[in-house]
Amino acid sequence: METVKIKTEVNPKKTKLKISGAEAIIHCLLAEGVDLLYGYPGGAIMPVYDELYKFQDKLTHILTRHEQGATHAAQGYARVSGRVGVAMATSGPGATNLVTGLADAQIDSTPLVCITGQVTRHLLGSDAFQETDIIGISTPVTKWNYQITEAAEIPEIMAKAFYIAKSGRPGPVLIDITKNAQIDEFDFSYEKCTAVRSYNPIPKPDVQAIEAAAQLINNAKKPLIVWGQGVILGKAEEELKALIEKSGVPAAWTIMGTSALDSEHPLNVGMVGMHGNYAPNVLTNECDVLIAIGMRFDDRVTGSLDTYAKQAKVIHFEIDKAEINKNVHADVAVLGNSKDTLGLLLPMIKENKHEAWHGKFKEMYKVEFDQVVNNDIHPTKEGLTMGEVIEQINVESGQKAVIVTDVGQHQMIGCRYAKFKQSRSNITSGGLGTMGFALPAAIGAKMGAMEREVVAIIGDGGYQMTIQELGVIFQHKVPVKIVVLNNDHLGMVRQWQELFFDRRYASTVMVNPDFVKIAEGYSIEAKRVSTREDLKVAIKEMIASKDAYFLEVKVEKEDNVFPMIPSGASVSEVRLK
């Protein structure tokens, strides 16, 4: 590490005393303001757990039932609070069980610090019990990782870990600590990291680029904004709103950007992407200027790149230089933190209304409403739809809940129909599409925002991938609300089989257990509903409950999510049925 120079802040409370590496790790966490972490103990991390025992008045450790649950809980916590989520595991299988959460956090830019124990230094490479090369394994799915083999490295590396995880485009960092480094003693002192010379987290905004962007926006006849999570991560919600209102530009969002703007804002034209709204998808290919803010042109957003917004000048506001021209060519690239760049852009923007252009969005929404939305949220058929469940949660929660979704049909329906008034309210596994994400993420989200209502919406498939985390809800009395939308199928895969594989339902039919009994086994109040009247009553009861609540809703078995852009098709080839 001698070549990495870290500029440090002077800490007046800097302490110097001989302590073990394990205790040093606790002091590092406390110095970074951590008061909650998730994890699972084991041989190679036991010295740290021993210290956690001693510091339990300052640092709460939540024992998840699987290490994957620890990472997703840490993600939920981070996403809702904007703080760094912390997860801990032992070596070997403990460490490998973190990998899915790391990959999820990497692709969805979530700040995590994961700490793993490792076999003692002299056993490295000997295939010792529970030894695994977690540095090698986690490299492609971490923003940074490092193996500590000497206790004295701990403060500098931990400081760097937190700095890297949360700065610039956030991401997961994994620190692997050999057992000897946990046991050995050294003179501890801690200084926060504020810079790393080889790392430029926030590029300086280029005023010329911003002027060029302003000119394009001001001269545009049919401009469209598509924003992503970069607005939330950059804390630029106010700037985005101001930009939209001043410029009059219709604004659509990616799944990761969902709650950055009030769902009912008149210029909010909905979601883009595979199951996004009709108007913003189709009109992406009619706009003359496409203003992308803190989004990365994921293939689920763009469909076929060959036919994506070819007619438009593209302006890309982005913090990560590597995203520029990665998928879509940017005519104007504005690097920097979205709060800074939008703040600089705002005074250059001319007031406008774009009424005729906005009218087109309204017209197309009407088509979508009549053909899709109305049937989803106000169905007249007997069976329950996922959409009406979400709509009922909107009604009962006053659109104030944090909605945590898993992956699949219910996720698309959830993101389409859940309404938000507050940022950081839609927590989902967007990029990786990790089934099993929602239940642990909801636990983390609740702990990150105890004052808020947290509702997890999960399919019957994904629920069973991390169902063991009910144990955490039970043990720690976490008052999350769990809604399982049960269609007895892996719904999204089944939908694809129906549409593209001649209804050959290969391994998508699920014979499910009695979910209510399982929840009751954990002393969680539980209900199952299958009629509209019962649904309304149950959701009212669930939202009113002060405790955890489990609600299984038996929904139509073979409903499909529309609109849909078939994989690889153009955004203008949206299917409404």
Partner 1 sequence: MEKEWFTISVYSENNVGLLNRISGIFLKRHINIESLNVSKSEIEGVSKFTIVVYTTEKWTHNIVGQIEKQIEVIKAFFHTDEETIYQESVLFKIASNLLFDERQIQNIIKDNNSQIVTVARDFFVIAKSGRRNEINEMYDQLKPFGIMQFVRTGRISVSKEEMQITALLNEFYQDK
Active site members:
67, 129-130, 179, 492
Q: By CB under 8 A, is residue 136 in contact with partner 1?
A: yes
Count, residues near partner 1 per rule CB under 8 A: 28
- Residue among 198 and 380 whose Cβ is closer to partner 1: 198
Closest CA to 401 of 259, 541, 267: 259
Q: By CB under 8 A, is residue 152 in contact with partner 1?
A: no
Contact 489, 558 (CB under 8 A): yes
Residues 429-488 that bind partner 1 (CB under 8 A): none
- C-alpha 242/C-alpha 98 separation (Å) is 40
Sign of CA dihedral 209, 333, 268, 82: negative
- C-alpha 147/C-alpha 137 separation (Å) is 12
- Residue among 244 and 333 whose Cβ is closer to partner 1: 333
Choice from 34, 107, 115, 164 touching partner 1 (CB under 8 A)? 164
Query: Which range of residues in 36-44, 51-59, 323-331, 417-425 is near partner 1 by CB under 8 A?
Result: 323-331
Query: Which range of residues in 136-144, 216-224, 339-347, 534-542 is near partner 1 by CB under 8 A?
Result: 136-144
Q: By CB under 8 A, is residue 122 in contact with partner 1?
A: no
Closest CA to 456 of 522, 551, 524: 551
Q: How far is the CB of 157 from partner 1 (least distance, A)?
A: 11
Pairing verdict, β 17-20 and 185-188? antiparallel
Q: How far is the CB of 187 from partner 1 (least distance, A)?
A: 24
Q: By CB under 8 A, is residue 124 in contact with partner 1?
A: no
Contact 402, 316 (CB under 8 A): no
- Residue among 8 and 352 whose Cβ is closer to partner 1: 8
Residues 182-241 that bind partner 1 (CB under 8 A): 194-199
Residue 440 makes CB contacts below 8 A (sequence gap 6+) with: 64, 68, 69, 70, 71, 72, 73, 76, 466, 469, 472
Contact 553, 535 (CB under 8 A): yes
Residue 551 makes CB contacts below 8 A (sequence gap 6+) with: 481, 482, 483, 484, 526, 527, 528, 529, 538, 539, 542
Q: Which residues pair with 187 in a beta bridge?
A: 18
Choice from 40, 146, 190, 420 touching partner 1 (CB under 8 A)? 146
Q: By CB under 8 A, is residue 1 in contact with partner 1?
A: yes
Q: By CB under 8 A, is residue 135 in contact with partner 1?
A: yes
Q: By CB under 8 A, is residue 324 in contact with partner 1?
A: yes
Q: How far is the CB of 32 from partner 1 (least distance, A)?
A: 18
- Residue among 235 and 326 whose Cβ is closer to partner 1: 326
Contact 566, 546 (CB under 8 A): no
Residue 178, H or E segment: strand 172-178
- Residue among 6 and 493 whose Cβ is closer to partner 1: 6
User: Interface residues with partner 1 (CB under 8 A)?
Assistant: 1-4, 7, 135-136, 139-140, 143-147, 164, 194-199, 320-326
